[in-house]
Amino acid sequence: MTSADGETDNALAAAAAGGDRNAFGDLLERHYDRIHRLAWQITGSRNDADDISQDVCCTLVACIGDFRGDAKFSTWLYAIVVNQCRAHHRRRSAIRRLAQGLETMVRFSAVSDGRDAYDAAWLKSAIAQLKPDLRETLALVVGQQLSHREASEVLGVAEKTISWRMHEARRLLSGTGSGAP
């Protein structure tokens, strides 16, 4: 995203906070795919990402006036998405998690885009077994291609923590950890 895009986002957010429905609609149109993609990357489930994306849109209606422009709008928005993912995770039951994990594996095994379906399912399963803070960090740094600094702003932790989490996730996923991921 360019600096001009950030300035446009800030202007749209200010207008939306002032009650401009068209500006709010433009913000959603500009960012909805990013919201959904991040939610999907964190949860590993399209259905959950759909629900979380709707929750984020509703949350934005209520809190758009809280955006002060101290950070980029996208960074502020990513923090909302991550928080909604965390809230959603807390609400899920163990049985629902198991069912969704099986759905994800079945969905990935049916992929016919030339990737090895087994490897894709294994990687998705391994990522799903990581602690939520590691999954969130991977989704932001790898999936959304945020810098460690930007990810630290979204997650509200030190930049060094992001670097450690990335190292730890790589270690666990490569199988050099002391146990399974």
| CA-based nearest residue to 64, from 23, 32, 29 | 23
pLDDT range class, residue 5, cuts 50, 70, 90: low
Averaged pLDDT for residues 97-112? 52
Name the most confidently modeled range: 16-30, 136-150, 163-177: 16-30
State residue 94's pLDDT score.
38
For residue 176, pLDDT over 80 is answered with no
Q: Return the SS3 of 177.
A: coil
Averaged pLDDT for residues 119-134? 79
| CA-based nearest residue to 140, from 166, 119, 106 | 166
State residue 68's pLDDT score.
87
First to last CA, the chain: 33
DSSP 145: -
Give residues with Cβ within 8 angstroms of 112, minimum separation 6. none
Q: What does pTM read for this prediction?
A: 0.61
Averaged pLDDT for residues 147-176? 89
In angstroms, what is the C-alpha Rg of the chain? 17
Question: What is the average pLDDT value for the chain, to the nearest integer?
Answer: 82
